[in-house]
């Protein structure tokens, strides 16, 4: 059953209680390999589910527009202080509702409609909010986009430099959603300086790796850093903007009153708890284990003939081009999910197929590492993935069912925060 237990939801709304319980069990029984997902601690869940959700607190600690902030102010101050200490930044704002609003606040703080901005194209591994045409950031700004080289699958920093010097963007985003390699923050910083742009590092995917010392930090290179709190950082759904003191006021004003109303104080408390957890030696070990697992999985998949974008991974994420297997990303992802392995279909760079039916799948190790899986388990995970994809190609439903059962049996031995197998 769900942890903490939800008897009051059951009493008030059995329909929703059943669905929450089913989701908890689903998370327990599946290899959850969507790289942006994780399992938070019960402490984070408790803080998220607390009476703090009852409070309004527009403004910042000591400067609120509502009374009754005796306990909210110290909660937000603790969250901010912990973010500053953990990442070593001068300023942190923990109020953005999520990663996309955090990035919008950066635009609001730094540029005006029509200004030139630069980011990585979505199909190359960037994020919608880095200037992709369907996003407000591509509609209201003049967005120029960089990508990866077709031969290496890696960012071509010479191309980034040429584009920046030619287009003179006011801000340059680095980071993304499907980048399996280390982001070269010092190189981006040199390019931004040369082009007269402000560098923004969006570390939503890798924040936990940065905090745990398993990926280089953008601090000292990017003067603005945005991140979600719910991916590798293993906190509640939310976001933070960190910056040098120089941009602190502009960022704070952009978040409130520029873009948002009252902060979600229950989320702020849960962020504070997650940041405290992320400052421990245990979390450092976790971050390194995430990378070790991804490396082990990547090498197993390569050996089985899978084409990995960029040839492998340096972080938590692997992007697989399924063209050699002769199956699209979508049917593969669907079959994997039925086999108890949850991934998402994804475009690969220079994908000849449509975004809604692309050539690849994106997988990651943050959640299964939280669950306790180690490199020694990765050959089995790769074998199941390979078997499920082969079964999908042959329409072998029985094989897919069989794998789902084996996954369930294996995972029964790995406890999940948020779920108790025995009530």
Ligand X SMILES: *Cc1c(COP(=O)(O)O)cnc(C)c1O
The residues assigned a catalytic role are 56, 58, 202, 228, 231, 237
User: Is residue 98 close enough to count as binding ligand X by CB under 6 A?
Assistant: yes
**358 close to 347: Cβ distance less than 8 angstroms:** yes
- Identify the sign of the CA torsion 256, 259, 264, 267: negative
Residue 72: closest CA among 318, 265, 355:
265
User: Is residue 228 close enough to count as binding ligand X by CB under 6 A?
Assistant: yes
Return the residue of 127, 221, 295, 377 that touches ligand X, per CB under 6 A: 127
DSSP state, residue 279: T
Return the residue of 175, 329, 349, 358 that touches ligand X, per CB under 6 A: 175
Closer residue to ligand X in complex, CB, 80/120: 120
User: Is residue 218 close enough to count as binding ligand X by CB under 6 A?
Assistant: no
Instruction: Return all residues near 303 (Cβ < 8 A) that are at least 6 apart.
Output: none
Instruction: List for the chain the helix, strand, coil content (%; round to 5).
Output: 50, 15, 35
**Stretch of 61-69, 94-102, 134-142, 290-298 lying at the interface with ligand X (CB under 6 A):** 94-102
Provide the minimum distance between the beta carbon of 316 and ligand X in the complex, in angstroms, as a whole number.
11
User: Is residue 100 close enough to count as binding ligand X by CB under 6 A?
Assistant: yes
User: Is residue 147 close enough to count as binding ligand X by CB under 6 A?
Assistant: no
Return the residue of 202, 314, 321, 351 that touches ligand X, per CB under 6 A: 202
Instruction: Return all residues near 151 (Cβ < 8 A) that are at least 6 apart.
Output: none
Q: What phi-psi label fits residue 30: left (phi over 0), alpha (psi between -120 and 50 degrees) or beta?
A: beta
Provide the minimum distance between the beta carbon of 368 and ligand X in the complex, in angstroms, as a whole number.
19
Per-residue burial over 144-181, b = 16 or more CB atoms within 10 Å of its CB, e = otherwise: bbbbbeeeebbbbeeebbebbeebebbbbbbbbbbbbb
Instruction: Return all residues near 222 (Cβ < 8 A) that are at least 6 apart.
Output: 174, 185, 188, 189, 199, 200, 201
**Stretch of 97-105, 135-143, 188-196, 353-361 lying at the interface with ligand X (CB under 6 A):** 97-105
Residue 99: closest CA among 40, 173, 179:
173
Closer residue to ligand X in complex, CB, 102/391: 102
Provide the minimum distance between the beta carbon of 12 and ligand X in the complex, in angstroms, as a whole number.
28
Find the radius of gyration of the CA atoms of the chain: 22
The residues pairing with 64 across neighbouring beta strands, listed in sequence order, are: 59
Q: Judged by CB under 6 A, how many residues of this single chain contact ligand X?
A: 14
In the shown chain, the binding pattern of residues 176 to 195 toward ligand X, with x for contact by CB under 6 A and - for none, equals: xx------------------
Closer residue to ligand X in complex, CB, 37/401: 37
**128 close to 134: Cβ distance less than 8 angstroms:** yes
DSSP state, residue 129: G
User: Is residue 316 close enough to count as binding ligand X by CB under 6 A?
Assistant: no
Closest residue by beta carbon to ligand X? 99
Q: What span, in angstroms and rounded, lies between the C-alpha atoms of 29 and 411?
A: 6
Provide the minimum distance between the beta carbon of 402 and ligand X in the complex, in angstroms, as a whole number.
34
Return the residue of 45, 94, 99, 124 that touches ligand X, per CB under 6 A: 99
Closer residue to ligand X in complex, CB, 127/247: 127
Return the residue of 38, 93, 95, 129 that touches ligand X, per CB under 6 A: 129
Provide the minimum distance between the beta carbon of 218 and ligand X in the complex, in angstroms, as a whole number.
12
Residues 29-88 that bind ligand X (CB under 6 A): 36
User: Is residue 364 close enough to count as binding ligand X by CB under 6 A?
Assistant: no
User: Per this entry, what is the length of the chain?
Assistant: 423
Provide the minimum distance between the beta carbon of 211 and ligand X in the complex, in angstroms, as a whole number.
16
Query: Terminal CA-to-CA distance of the chain, rounded, Å?
Result: 6
Provide the minimum distance between the beta carbon of 412 and ligand X in the complex, in angstroms, as a whole number.
30
**82 close to 94: Cβ distance less than 8 angstroms:** no
Q: What span, in angstroms and rounded, lies between the C-alpha atoms of 207 and 287?
A: 10
Provide the minimum distance between the beta carbon of 328 and ligand X in the complex, in angstroms, as a whole number.
23
Q: What span, in angstroms and rounded, lies between the C-alpha atoms of 130 and 176?
A: 8
Closer residue to ligand X in complex, CB, 129/223: 129
H helical segments located in 71-125: 72-87, 99-110
Return the residue of 205, 221, 266, 330 that touches ligand X, per CB under 6 A: 205
In the shown chain, the binding pattern of residues 259 to 298 toward ligand X, with x for contact by CB under 6 A and - for none, equals: ----------------------------------------
Q: Kindly list the residues in this chain that would bind ligand X in the complex (CB under 6 A).
A: 36, 98-100, 103, 127, 129, 175-177, 202, 204-205, 228
């Amino acid at each position: 059953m769900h942890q903490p237990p939800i008897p009051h939801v059951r009493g008030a709304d059995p329909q929703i209680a059943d669905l929450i319980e089913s989701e908890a069990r689903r998370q327990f029984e599946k290899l959850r390999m969507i790289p942006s997902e994780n399992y938070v601690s019960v402490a984070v869940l408790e803080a998220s589910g607390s009476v703090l959700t009852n409070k309004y607190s527009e403004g910042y600690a000591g400067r609120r527009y509502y009374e009754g902030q005796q306990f909210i102010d110290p909660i937000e101050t603790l969250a901010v202080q912990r973010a500053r200490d953990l990442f070593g930044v001068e300023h942190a704002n923990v109020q953005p509702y999520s990663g996309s609003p955090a990035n919008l606040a950066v635009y609001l703080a730094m540029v005006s409609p029509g200004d030139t901005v630069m980011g990585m194209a979505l199909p190359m591994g960037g994020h919608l909010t880095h200037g992709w045409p369907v996003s407000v950031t591509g509609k209201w700004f003049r967005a120029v986009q960089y990508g990866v080289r077709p031969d290496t699958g890696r960012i071509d920093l010479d191309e980034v430099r040429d584009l920046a010097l030619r287009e003179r963007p006011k801000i340059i985003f680095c980071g993304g959603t499907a980048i399996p390699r280390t982001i070269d923050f010092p190189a981006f910083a040199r390019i931004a300086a040369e082009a007269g742009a402000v560098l923004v590092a969006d570390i939503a995917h890798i924040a936990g790796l940065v905090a745990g010392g398993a990926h280089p930090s953008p601090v000292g290179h990017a003067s603005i850093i945005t991140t979600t709190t719910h991916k590798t950082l293993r906190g509640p759904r939310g976001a933070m903007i960190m910056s040098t003191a120089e941009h602190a006021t502009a960022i704070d004003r952009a978040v409130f009153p520029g873009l948002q109303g009252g902060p979600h104080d229950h989320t702020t408390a849960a962020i504070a708890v997650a940041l405290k957890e992320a400052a421990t030696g245990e979390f450092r070990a976790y971050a390194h284990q995430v990378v070790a697992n991804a490396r082990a999985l990547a090498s197993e998949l390569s050996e089985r003939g899978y084409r990995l974008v960029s040839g492998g991974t340096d972080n938590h994420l692997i992007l697989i081009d399924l063209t050699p297997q002769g199956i699209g990303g979508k049917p593969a992802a669907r079959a994997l999910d039925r086999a108890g392995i949850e991934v998402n279909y994804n475009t690969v760079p220079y994908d000849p197929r449509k975004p809604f039916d692309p050539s690849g799948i994106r997988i990651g190790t943050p959640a299964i590492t939280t669950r306790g899986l180690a490199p020694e388990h990765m050959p089995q995970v790769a074998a199941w993935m390979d078997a499920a994809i082969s079964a999908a190609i042959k329409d072998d439903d029985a094989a897919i069912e069989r794998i789902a059962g084996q996954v369930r049996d294996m995972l029964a031995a790995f406890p999940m925060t948020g779920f108790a197998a025995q009530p």
